[in-house]
Structure 1
Amino acid sequence: MSDQIRTNTHNPGHANSWYAASANDRRIRPVLEGEEVADVCVIGAGFTGISAALQLAENGFSVIVLEGERIGFGASGRNGGQIVNGYSRDLETIARRYGPDKALKLGQMSLEGGQIIRDRVAKYGIRCGLVDGGFFAAFTDKQVREMAGVKAHWEKHGHTGLEMVSKAEVGQYVKADRYVGGMIDRLGGHIHPLNLVLGEAAAVESLGGRIFENSRVTGLDMGANPVVRTAKGSVKAKYVLVCGNAYLGQLLPKITDKMMPVSSQVMATEPLDAQLIEELLPANYCVEDANYVLDYYRRTADNRLLYGGGIGYGGQDPADLTGVIRPNMLKTFPQLAGAKIDFAWSGNFALTLTRIPHMGKLSDTVYFSHGDSGHGVTTTHLLGKILGEAVAGHAGRFDVWSSLPALPFPGGKTFRVPLTLLGAWWYGLRDRLGI
């Protein structure tokens, strides 16, 4: 997510988000200075990098994580906080594109990201407000039919937590007149994402891993023993994991040229009356709608409504964040017309052309994973774990992901934004027309 806002007086170096203001751990880790040595150097302290570092530390590897800003500075610490299972493209699409064997293998992994989160929260006592349950809201009968098809396909892959919701039942999950039905996922849920990644980072440190903040990588010397360089230091390692996603910058054009930064906007209301917020979201499930450019929202532990939506291809932010999101919130909940907005923030995630993550190697000792395409909370945890497995010599699952094609955007950097905007306009028009 974009770095336009760095004015959080509660937690310097982070965006002015509710997450940063309510973070459990505000310690600033040291800057890398001098020469260090580790089995593995991880670039990026978001979900992917910290998930990989924790997997490795649990298995006895010495790990150093380098973060250019703060732990969870990017999308990992700014997203909607929703545990949504699967990938940014459904398993039917994956089967059509890559064949039934790949779909079967990815389907076998598709619920694992959420389970990794739950296991780590329990194992390390991470206080991140974990709540089970998610609701997918449909505006049209067509969207309901599509959800029913997704449910049937998911069930072929062992996901039994899905249940269709009729129009009469919508009020059990959200008190809004906009929806004609939907689907619940009992294996979904929501969390405070910044507190989750901070808790996982503390777990890495408890196992001997070291994390350096404000230590942006300026160079990477590849080879049998790669060296990662920053302005004030270096790390010599046996393996390097590149996990910078949308915040990798121009360090490795071979990676960044095949992804596009996309901004999304989020805001949080003032704490609402407990009776009101319970009336709006009685089951305390997180909600996302079924439109191509979707809205997503949920309750927070202190009774705020956290509402997100909007999209900025190329990572561009609107001048008025609240002006983008608030009208949609009021379409959903007009009774919040008088509610004050305490926080509004934006940030970038990494989008790929296929909307499927890119995973692979730059050399025998340098691995990467990025491009979760707006579906990263669970996928990053899965792929981080798989990176750790590959370093440990168990590369079977890594090989499945790295075999998927990583295609450049048509038109390169010059035309990727206008062409993607054209596609988004078309799908948005279909949503509005119900076709």
Structure 2
Amino acid sequence: MEDKTASIRAVVIITGLIVVIIVARLSLKLSRAFFLIAGADIALILAVFVCLVIRECYNRRRKLLEKRLVSEGRELRVEYSFLRKVAGVPIKFRLKELEDATDNFRALLGQGGSASVFKGILSDRTSIAVKRIDGEEHGEKEFRSEVAAIASVQHVNLVRLVGYCCLPRGPRYLVYEFIPNGSLDHWIFPGNRTKNHPRGCLSFDLRYRIAIDVAKALSYIHHDCRSKILHLDLKPENILLDENYRAIVADFGLSKLMGKDESRVITTIRGTKGYLAPEWLLELGVSEKCDVYSYGMVLLEMIGGQRNVTVIENGSNKSQRKWQYFPKIVRDKLREGKVIEAVDRRLVGVGAVDERQVKRMVNVALWCIQEKPGLRPSMAHVVEMLKGRVPVEEPPDTQMIVVDLLSIDGEESGLQLGPKIAAMGLDCCDIPSSSSSSFAMSMLSGR
């Protein structure tokens, strides 16, 4: 457009100068003034021609450079796309791209305290799950934790970060690969029904394989990464199942990075009640053994097909309701030699359940939920035990302090809990009643 305008102006100027020469010739004849005007006009006409030639050369050179840059840019995009697929490098998305992929964030897959997850399809037909993290301060902290933890790791049982979108103000977005079969809780707990998730009842063999998959993922982030990664929010809702029912550990929003020489770090209590290790609840710092404890609690829920802490109502009288602690039931069944009775009832009557596998899973789970962190095995050792490569010894008897807490009325919640908690051997000397009460409430709270 600019080239066309410049050419029109040049033609108009040259035409005007020629008209001036003709008028000067007719009016001034061959006088000296005519020759001066004619010379000046011819000089201007030549100057306009020179400008047009220079502009045309400049335009040709510019177009060649643009073609070269476009070609090089295309090659760079192809190379970057190749490297991203090979190395798993996350890419930065524009908000408009995510809005188009998710149909303006309409397909809600799930929602948590500070984040929502939406299903989407990219322009190359890749299915994705977009996690929108709301809130400025908490959102920034969760966003950085998740990117730092998962962006640089590669494991078949860890969710893959495809990209991200970070705006100066407003929510932040993480783009993950879409896992078709949803989260584990929809496949092990009866009555857990939502329209956006597939559902069913997993066989015991699949549950056993999933237990190994999750153990492998945790072992990898604990022992095989440059910086030790603590997940700190392991629960069935954060374990996804792919099309082949292989486990994918997701949601690293609360994760922590530790140096190889660090044994424990201090952090605030932000995980899910019911899966938090006792030492974290007592604010004694966290380590990879907190993930081991959470894994043991998840393992027990997979075995029984029920939550570890449930309320048994006695009619309409709420004062007579009772708390049921599934780990204690499992421990008692193991002692009585009736461990098969702890298995999900939907599995016992339908398909074959290997009692040896059940016993092995129960023993591993009880090792993992030991109150003393030093007694819990590493996740690498858990993998070896579940695969049958090393014998699984009978775990020591645990205090299971939560059972005492469940039997205490609200008015007595601050009484005589210090000695009970101290008996766990968690290196705590003086525990005030307020801490004990907080511990009780944390253990008994729902999700």
> Is TM (by shorter chain) over 0.5?
no
Q: Which structure is higher in helix share?
A: 2
TM class, shorter-chain normalised? under 0.3
Structure possessing the higher relative contact order (Cα contacts under 8 Å, 6 or more residues apart): 1
> Please, what TM-score do these two structures have when normalized by structure 2?
0.25
